Amino acid sequence: MRENPSLDVNRYGPWALIVGGSEGIGAASACLLAAQGFNLILVARKAEPLSALAQELAGAGVEVRTGSVDLSQPDALDRTRALTDDIEVGLLLYIAGANDTRGNFLELDPQVYRSVIAITVIGQAEFTRHYGGLMRERGRGGIILAGSLSNFCGSATVAAYTGAKAFSRVFTEALWAECVEMNIDVLHVVVGYTDTPAMRRLGLDTSSAQSPEDAACEMLAAIGNGPLLLLGGEASLKIATARSQLADRGEVIRTAGTPRRESMPHVSAN
């Protein structure tokens, strides 16, 4: 039986910003945080899931603000700041960043890798700099940045994604080391296979995947245990260890990397 995590709203509140907060792990985190008394700002692209979730959360008696923001666009932080400049964000969860388009880097439409880099590299850095900077002034807060098992080695057909996720993990680890003295908890979450709407839209069989609720629960409970949380237990640890092996690196990349998905019906060729 899952035990819901308990986060101190005086330490990490009063507002939590969830970037990618309309579905999956972000939405599950929103429900858990609302139950703890956190007010929420939820941003994502599609307006409908955002407003449906805001309605669902209204019963928890907390304030909820939502904004339709595309993180691949240069105005993403400004649009989010328009929702938050008058309030105190004590907790930043940056969850968005799945990959839905695969292909050899040299053949890809540049828009694909630009978007991946904008969301995961530029986005995580910019949002962390802004909201983390305000937490530093207040002397408290928490930052959780989501990554993937893909971050442990480069894989064919997802070069930008694996590179961006590697940035995310190493960046978060360094940030964690810097923020210890600032009373800001920093955590990088390595997400394993999770049954999210994004994965279902890709047509994947998610019957063996972790639920977003379990992932959110484990993630929030670990906020004070940075720098790294590997979701998915022993199985994820085995994959991460295999992908981190330095000896015979070419073989690791050929065999242990993210499997190709050419045969999948809903994944674009590039």
| Rounded-to-integer distance, Cα 64 and Cα 17, Å | 10
Sign of the dihedral through C-alpha 35, 41, 44, 45: positive
In angstroms, the CA 174 to CA 153 distance is: 19
Residue of the chain from 69, 116, 219, 222 that contacts ligand NAP (CB under 6 A):
69
Could you say whether residue 258 binds ligand NAP (CB under 6 A)? Answer: no
Q: Using CB under 6 A as the criterion, what x/- string covers residues 185-204 for binding ligand NAP?
A: ------x-xx-x-xx-----
Q: Which amino acid is at 241?
A: T
DSSP calls for 128-181: HHHHHHHHHHHT-EEEEEEEEGGGGS--TT-HHHHHHHHHHHHHHHHHHHHHGG
Task: Identify which range of 2-10, 18-26, 173-181, 220-228 contacts ligand NAP by CB under 6 A.
Answer: 18-26
- Applying CB under 6 A, among 7, 17, 25, 28 the residue interacting with ligand NAP is 25
With respect to ligand NAP, which residue has the nearer C-beta, 12 or 161? Answer: 161
Say how far apart CA 9 and CA 137 lie, in whole Å: 18
**Cα dihedral sign, 101-104-109-111:** positive
Question: Does 26 sit near ligand NAP (CB under 6 A)?
Answer: yes
List the one residue from 7, 12, 23, 188 that touches ligand NAP (CB under 6 A): 23
Shortest distance, position 155 Cβ to ligand NAP, whole Å: 12
Residues 128-187 that bind ligand NAP (CB under 6 A): 146, 148
Tokens at 103, concatenated: 């292909």
The residues of the shown chain that bind ligand NAP, judged by CB under 6 A, are 20-26, 44-46, 69-72, 95-98, 119, 146, 148, 191, 193-194, 196, 198-199
